[in-house]
Structure 1
Amino acid sequence: MNVNLNEIEVTINSAFSLAGTLAIPTDITQPAPAILIISGTGENDRNGNGKGLNVNIYKDLADILGKMGFVTLRYDKRGTHASGGDFNETGLWDLVDDSIACVQFLKSRQEVDPHRIFIFGHSEGASIAPLVHTKEPVHGLMLISGGVENLVHDTIPRQTGQALEELEQAKGIKGFLIRLLKVKEKAKKQTAAFIEKVLSSTTPTIRFKGKKIGAKWFREHAALNISDYISQVACPIIAISGSNDIQAPPDHARKFAEAATGEAEWHVIPHMNHILRKYEKPHTMLGLLKEYKSLFTTPIDAEFVKLLEQWLRKHTTTQPS
């Protein structure tokens, strides 16, 4: 994308130093509205890439939003890539604190209008954004591909159950062996054992099946009722999901909007998936990695971009509350 942006490598001071990219449109002549991009779960970098999955989602979004005239900030999570800290010891509320530090960083920049700062929260970021706003208010929230559900008690069992159902429907010798070996039953028991061990733990990390797990993050998500925080949000909200998103329930865009106390709107975009790309073929939980890899060069959904721009234009011409 041909965007005239000046990208600056910056350091945000939180409990640990966070490495980020501040993207500033080169043609701005006065303090501009700004958007903090909060990413989804996992250890992907500030651009949305990692572990062989180079979707570039947050870099692409920064380019799109920069073309609209917005300053953006995207950053590596605590304990990943160029940021300090230990990712496995990082809890949900640590991520919230880091996002608050990023909002405060934006408010301190001379290029940014501190009264026109928005948060773009994608996936887990859609849960983090309302928590940030209750502590460090912003002008508006974009809650994208998120869920008004509990990650530990709802999301994990739902996604695991869907994957196991797909496994059991496998055909031929593969399906026969899966059913013969009772893979579904064993996996359900292992998931339950994992959740029980995590929730009964008291340390930041635990070992499960030989792997180091961020137990603190799981425990804090398990204790979270996101609706309690959304109900405290009075700033404008737009919640958007895709009808082909099987990671987060599409109808939760409506639930986000209905839980808010202020102005809120919601949209479900036909055929858009979790990484904001159009995908009209049948897809499965087990086939997501292959699906996402097939979309590396596909642009972000045009209808999604249009909705974002319309909403942002509307809310950058209104007076701050």
Structure 2
Amino acid sequence: MQRSLLTLLLPLFLCTSVRAQLPGEWFAILDAMGTELPLGIQLDEQDGAITGSLVSPGQSEARFDFTTSSFDGQRLQFTLNDLGASFSGVLDGKELRGVFNQARVDFPLTFYRYRPQGYPVSDGPVTITQRSQQPTDFPYEREAVTFPGGAAGVTLAGELTLPTKGKPRAAIILVSGSGPQDRNSYLGSQINHSPFLVLSDYLTREGYAVLRYDDRGVGESTGDHNGATTRDFGADAGAAVDYLKQRKDFRKIAIGMAGHSEGGLIAPIVAAENEDLDFVILLAAPGVPIDSLMLEQRRQVGTATGMPAQLIARDEPGLRSAYTFIKESPALDQDRYVDGLYALFEKRMDNLPTALRNSIKDPRAFNAQYVVPLSNPWLRSFLAMDPTPYLEKLTIPTLAINGLKDTQVAAESNLNGISIAMAKNGNKDATVLPLPGLNHLFQPADTGAPNEYGTIETTFDPLALEMIGNWLNERF
């Protein structure tokens, strides 16, 4: 969810006939957390507008047309809804330098007119190796399932795994974090980990039934992911509870929910509104208001990835003001909301360094890097949320764990928030545990930065898995 502000470091140039320099082929090598992925774009000009497409020759021959694209003489921006990706960069002579974003993770990227070393891939697609923890045998039952989602037109598809012998000790529904994720919570070729597949395999071997499903609009599930909010994903998670409750083979079996990151916000929401949940497991879950969490996330991720401290400090007041505006403006229609954000950031431009401020020829284009992400319906809704009221209603058995090297959902502040809520509601079976050395994905980490995830072989720390299993086994 973090948004890199590396674009602010890029010089802005206003060149004569720069539009004429843009059409044609451009090439880049994306350093995707240790994996080098060639990317190519074809830019065309039609009736004064820039259009284009992207290809990743190391992965397939498919070419993806831009969903939206714009060029203001300085900055090229395009989105690819089919890939959940976007690019924003500045034309600097024969280079397009900027940031590529996919699955809400930012990667610095430079496109060139020439093919850089390693492009194209002559030996075929990039090989994605199987991680060591990924299961290769399945000594339990696997059932493909579909069930109605939380809205009309949404059908969720997934897999239910069950122990081969006897009734399950309990049933657990896995709820994923932010971004489009399949039932395995596969995090893309850049990271190449499937945490939910590993967690599900471990729990099923321990005697538990586990239901995991593709997010709406992802994989085999229907619906629109791009237009959905946390509340919509919560409705889908609630529908998963309803599905298990209506199955005759799950009568008198405890049903719980394990949510990771945003899923750890969804689980308390479902529990507060659905009496059929018997326990929850919060994995790197929010315990403070989301706007505060996002500001802290930006500081921690920025520091871990080497963002200059002055950049982190310089832009925080503007983002803080924007988050306040978002929380105070739930009733604004989208057009007035977007205009309000632009006005807010344009006012904040007086606080920018003089050299940067003087280089900005189009304030609206400059501020689009803030406003466009904040205009997303999901992010607008998410930033206004506070998990506290839902956590304070949790009286069922609750386990909350988080890695102390988590830079996305800081362990200390969020676990403290969960602990305070548990104390306030008098929950007599609440376990809150910080896990030293682990990151947001529960991997053993050095820095905890997101760009480290794909370089770590471990998908889910075995001791963390054992801790979850022991907590469950003590109760079921």
Which AA in structure 2 matches 1:105? Y
Residue of structure 2 equivalent to 1:202: 333
Cα offset, 1:9, TM superposition: 1.8
Which AA in structure 1 matches 2:148? N
Cα offset, 1:276, TM superposition: 1.3
Whole-angstrom distance in 2 between the partners of 1:270 and 1:278:
9
Which of 395, 401, 419 does residue 257 from structure 1 map onto? 419
Cα offset, 1:158, TM superposition: 1.9
Residue of structure 1 equivalent to 2:407: 246
Against the structure 1 CA distance between its residues 203 and 78, is the aligned structure 2 distance closer, same or farther, given a 3 Å change threshold? farther
Residue of structure 2 equivalent to 1:319: none
Q: Is the counterpart of residue 10 in structure 1 residue 170 in structure 2? A: no
Whole-angstrom distance in 2 between the partners of 1:268 and 1:212:
31
Alignment of 1:177-256 (within 5 A): 188=316, 191=319, 195=323, 200=329, 202-203=333-334, 209=369, 215-251=376-412, 252-256=414-418
Tell me the number of residue pairs that the alignment of Structure 1 and Structure 2 aligns: 296
Against the structure 1 CA distance between its residues 193 and 19, is the aligned structure 2 distance closer, same or farther, given a 3 Å change threshold? farther
Whole-angstrom distance in 2 between the partners of 1:203 and 1:82:
31
Against the structure 1 CA distance between its residues 220 and 128, is the aligned structure 2 distance closer, same or farther, given a 3 Å change threshold? same
Which AA in structure 2 matches 1:66? T
8 A contact 2:238–2:270 mirrored in 1: yes
Alignment of 1:111-130 (within 5 A): 111-130=249-268
Q: What is the DSSP-based 3-state SS (H/G/I as helix, E as strand, rest coil) of the residue aligned with 2:173?
A: strand
8 A contact 2:279–2:398 mirrored in 1: yes
Residue of structure 2 equivalent to 1:307: 467
Cα shift readout 1:214-252 (whole Å, capped 9, x = no counterpart): 733233323322111111111011111112111112122
Cα shift readout 1:162-217 (whole Å, capped 9, x = no counterpart): 34453116xxxxxxxxx7xxx55775577468657866553499795596777332
Bigger helix fraction? 1
Alignment of 1:83-122 (within 5 A): 83-122=221-260
Which AA in structure 2 matches 1:246? T
Against the structure 1 CA distance between its residues 186 and 3, is the aligned structure 2 distance closer, same or farther, given a 3 Å change threshold? same
Against the structure 1 CA distance between its residues 114 and 220, is the aligned structure 2 distance closer, same or farther, given a 3 Å change threshold? farther
Q: What is the DSSP-based 3-state SS (H/G/I as helix, E as strand, rest coil) of the residue aligned with 2:254?
A: strand
8 A contact 1:238–1:265 mirrored in 2: yes
Whole-angstrom distance in 2 between the partners of 1:93 and 1:154:
19
8 A contact 2:326–2:384 mirrored in 1: no
Alignment of 1:133-148 (within 5 A): 133-137=271-275, 138-148=277-287
Identity among equivalent positions (%) equals 25
Against the structure 1 CA distance between its residues 7 and 202, is the aligned structure 2 distance closer, same or farther, given a 3 Å change threshold? farther
Whole-angstrom distance in 1 between the partners of 2:322 and 2:384:
16
Which AA in structure 1 matches 2:455? S
Cα offset, 1:32, TM superposition: 4.5
Cα offset, 1:126, TM superposition: 0.9
Cα offset, 1:31, TM superposition: 5.5
Which of 11, 21, 44 does residue 159 from structure 2 map onto? 21
Cα offset, 1:75, TM superposition: 1.1
Which AA in structure 1 matches 2:381? E
Residue of structure 2 equivalent to 1:269: 435
Cα offset, 1:264, TM superposition: 0.5
Which AA in structure 2 matches 1:167? M
Which AA in structure 2 matches 1:221? F
Which AA in structure 2 matches 1:11? T
Which AA in structure 2 matches 1:243? L
Q: What is the DSSP-based 3-state SS (H/G/I as helix, E as strand, rest coil) of the residue aligned with 1:23?
A: strand
Q: What is the DSSP-based 3-state SS (H/G/I as helix, E as strand, rest coil) of the residue aligned with 1:315?
A: coil
Q: What is the DSSP-based 3-state SS (H/G/I as helix, E as strand, rest coil) of the residue aligned with 1:26?
A: coil
Against the structure 1 CA distance between its residues 214 and 11, is the aligned structure 2 distance closer, same or farther, given a 3 Å change threshold? farther
Residue of structure 1 equivalent to 2:204: 66
8 A contact 1:17–1:84 mirrored in 2: yes
Cα shift readout 1:127-179 (whole Å, capped 9, x = no counterpart): 1101001111311111111121222x21222222334453116xxxxxxxxx7
Which AA in structure 2 matches 1:161? R
Whole-angstrom distance in 2 between the partners of 1:233 and 1:72:
22
Cα offset, 1:268, TM superposition: 1.0
Whole-angstrom distance in 1 between the partners of 2:439 and 2:294:
18
Cα shift readout 1:262-306 (whole Å, capped 9, x = no counterpart): 221111112111111222x2x154xx22x11122x4252222122
Q: Is the counterpart of residue 298 in structure 1 residue 431 in structure 2? A: no
8 A contact 2:175–2:259 mirrored in 1: yes
Residue of structure 1 equivalent to 2:178: 41
Whole-angstrom distance in 2 between the partners of 1:109 and 1:245:
38
Task: Provide the aligned C-alpha RMSD in A.
Answer: 2.8
* Gapped regions of structure 1 (runs ≥ 5): 170-178, 317-321
8 A contact 1:92–1:221 mirrored in 2: yes
